[in-house]
Amino acid sequence: MFTNMHLVRQEQFPANGFTYELSLYRVAETGDLSLFVSKAGKGVGSSFFASSSVVADARLRVGMDVEQVLFDHAKDNIARNAFGEY
């Protein structure tokens, strides 16, 4: 299945002696969010996802910024590096 992804936000995050690039994309067809982590131009570690229904529900119920939650979760995983992914 082919999807169109549009860049929503990008950040640099220094940790563990490296600089990581966090890129958040929205899938045009569904509204889902996908955050990818890369180091030196190569994908590393886990990707983080939120479906469009989760995003809408979180904003409606508690005013949560799911985009920021995804970035915070990714940064925490990178900093902890519990499984040596990063």
pLDDT at position 14, please? 95
pLDDT digits over 18-62, tens only? 999 999 999 888 888 889 999 988 888 778 887 777 666 766 666
Q: What is the pTM of this model?
A: 0.80
Residue 56, pLDDT score: 65
Would you give the end-to-end CA distance of the chain in angstroms? 29
Placement of tokens 């030196």 in the chain: 40
Please name which of 7, 49, 40 lies closest in space to residue 24, comparing C-alpha atoms: 7
The ranges assigned to domains in the chain are: 5-80
pLDDT at 42: 85
User: Which candidate, 65, 59, 46, 53, places its Cα nearest to that of 27?
Assistant: 53
Side chain identity at 21, as an amino acid letter? E
HSE-CB for 60 with a 13 A CA cutoff: 6
